[in-house]
Amino acid sequence: MPVLITAGLSPQAYRLQRILHVSDVVFADNSQLPGIPGISTLVIPTHDSASFVHEMLKACLDHKITKVYPLKLDEVMQLSRARALFSEYEVMLMIPSDEWLKHHTNINVGISENIVVLENGKQIAGTSFPNNFLLSKESGIFSWAIIEQKFEYNLYLIDDAAL
């Protein structure tokens, strides 16, 4: 079953595809993506569009997508409000829980060589992380580093300002 990765114009989207080791990917962005043979793409509305959530769900159902990996913070926040709706249609949003998002409101976009993908707290892809990684029930894509002997992590997102 295919997965959907947003921010399809960004190198982070293609890096995530490589980390996931999946070939059946639909890349989505707010702008038309260049035609690349063998790559499925679609245009989605911006996160602030009234139809964003419904268009995302429609795209998932039309393309038989089972997992969505949003790479823009505003998309993560919008989709978190529609978690139950996507769940009804058996589409998993690969984003942290509302509780995690609430307590990590100052999310910084940082580049890290270490990327881990968690599904319900279990690593499904990415670089191995230290045992003290305390996200036992979370899903999502996280970058992590050890800075000054301290373990730090954050959501793996693109920097909209850099695009």
Digit-coded pLDDT (tens) for 76-125: 999 999 999 999 999 999 999 999 888 875 566 665 778 999 999 888 99
Please state the rounded mean pLDDT for residues 8-23: 92
Please state the rounded mean pLDDT for residues 142-147: 83
For residue 162, the model assigns a pLDDT of 47
Sequence ranges of the domains in the chain: 3-162
Confidence category of residue 66, pLDDT binned at 50, 70, 90: very high
For residue 127, the model assigns a pLDDT of 84
With contact defined as beta carbons under 8 Å apart, do 71 and 5 qualify? yes
Pick the CATH number of 3-162 from 3.60.40.10, 3.40.50.20, 3.40.47.10, 3.10.400.10: 3.40.50.20
Q: Which of 21, 121, 119, 5 is nearest to 65 (CA)?
A: 5
C-alpha distances in Å from residue 63, one per residue of 28, 30, 32, 56, 129: 12, 17, 17, 11, 33
